[in-house]
Amino acid sequence: MTQLLAFDAPAPSGLRGLLEFDQAVFDALPMGVYACDAQGRIIRMNRRATELWGRAPELYEPVVKFSSAFRIETPDGEQVAPSETPMARALSTDRAFQGVELLVQNPDGRRWVASVTIEPISDEHGKPIGAVNCFQDVTTEFAQRRRLAEQQRTLDLAMVAAKMGSWRYTVADNICVYDEHAQRLYGLTEARFLHDDEGVKNLIHADDLPRMWECVARAVDPAGDGRYEVEYRVRQLDGRWRWVSAWGLVEFDSDGPERKPVAISGASRDLTERKEAEELQNLLINELNHRVKNTLATIQSVASQTLRLAPDLHAARHSIEARIGSLARAHDLLTDHNWSGANMAGVVSRALEPFGKARFDLSGQDLQVSPKHALALSMALHELATNAAKYGALKVPDGRVAVEWSETVDQLRLRWREHGGPPVAPPTRRGFGSRLLEEGLMRELGGRTRLEHHPDGVRCEIVAAL
């Protein structure tokens, strides 16, 4: 585990809180995190940061500054000097950086793409005293975007070679004549099309009509340059919508005050694949941001409530480490399945792993659950098992726990039953685990929980909507 070295000088108050934060929390984060002081020396880092860098730097090292990456390049392959890295620029300009992508080479030669987000830290007077860098490996996403860009360029060349689809619109009669390629793009069965208000309502998406007419008006303006370019959706014969890019040049009659638009000659191409790729990229970025924010919010909530309810700091530290460890195991399971969900048997098995699987009797249907269910149920099972290890069946050698799950009418039903342990008495106070089971699950999964303290063992039934 990465350790924090002793201060070589009094740390500014804005950094001391960061330096004194529990290292276990940092090490449980799924991204690399490190902090620099105003001189660029690395003063704090987590385990993921050293894994990504491929080495662990000495803290407060005056030579290795701003980052411990062996070599940093721009996405185009140009080397970036340490003094020009985003961290160095953030410290010198007190400016935040969001989602900057850089190529990183490790000491062993491995090359990967980092997405970097940096937030400067200032003291109570607004003076910059350091910065925090959160970074992660986005090599796969970067490669996908490169492939999409290359595919788009190839598609553009192919469409040029095929001459795409051409058309000519005459202003006097509002008639647009399409060649056979353009007819296929626009879902038309005839070459001549009446391009008036009524005609385009049935052809072009209503949300795109104002933009299309605006571009036409600007293009045919005698005082303009006569260039026409617009993107819109057109209805196909089967009712689907296709994204089309249309561009052209206006033919004018006469010059000067008598100049009048006669026609627009142009071409169109299919943009559907590019638009779908852009939507997918935006979806992936939004999902990643959402996932990171949710993870940090969960960690913050766990730490806050644990500290508030724990009897002392030692107990609080142990509880926080265990709970974040449970959350990290659930994240690992979901990552193995590309965050599409997880098998219920895997969720239960991962959650109970630290308590010894031999003490549990597991049975249930082959059932897939969503990422939200996997995370919430992992935390709930961790709290039940922790309570059993402290006070219930897992406290004695002969104690056992039965865990069953099933799906009925769009509901997940999970049962926990302890036996063979010491006599159980109802608790005198509600701790973090009880609050999570009785309130948190209902709020998170739209279900209900029944927790019973039978003398022969704790019983719990969780019902969640699927």
Asked if CATH classification 3.40.50.170 holds for the domain at 148-270, the reply, yes or no, is no
Of 229 and 380, which is predicted with more confidence? 229
Residue of 364, 340, 341 lying closest to 352 (CA atoms): 364
Question: Are residues 451 and 438 in contact, defined by beta-carbon separation less than 8 angstroms?
Answer: yes
Can you give the pLDDT at residue 371? 86
Task: Give me the residue spans of the domains in the chain.
Answer: 13-136, 148-270, 276-465
**pLDDT digits 0-9 by tens, 399-424:** 999 999 999 888 899 999 999 989 88
Strand (E) or helix (H) holding 195: none
DSSP conformation class of 41: B
DSSP conformation class of 188: -
Domain at 276-465: CATH code: 3.30.565.10
CA pair distance 43, 37, nearest whole angstrom: 7
Domain at 13-136: CATH code: 3.30.450.20
* DSSP assignments along 309-364, one per residue: H-SSHHHHHHHHHHHHHHHHHHHHHHHHTTTS-EEHHHHHHHHHGGG-GGGEEEEE
CA pair distance 370, 373, nearest whole angstrom: 5
38: left (phi over 0), alpha (psi -120 to 50) or beta: alpha
**pLDDT digits 0-9 by tens, 172-230:** 999 999 988 889 899 999 999 999 888 899 899 999 999 999 999 999 999 989 999 99
Domain 13-136 and domain 148-270 have a common topology: yes
Confidence class of residue 297 from pLDDT cuts 50, 70 and 90? Answer: low
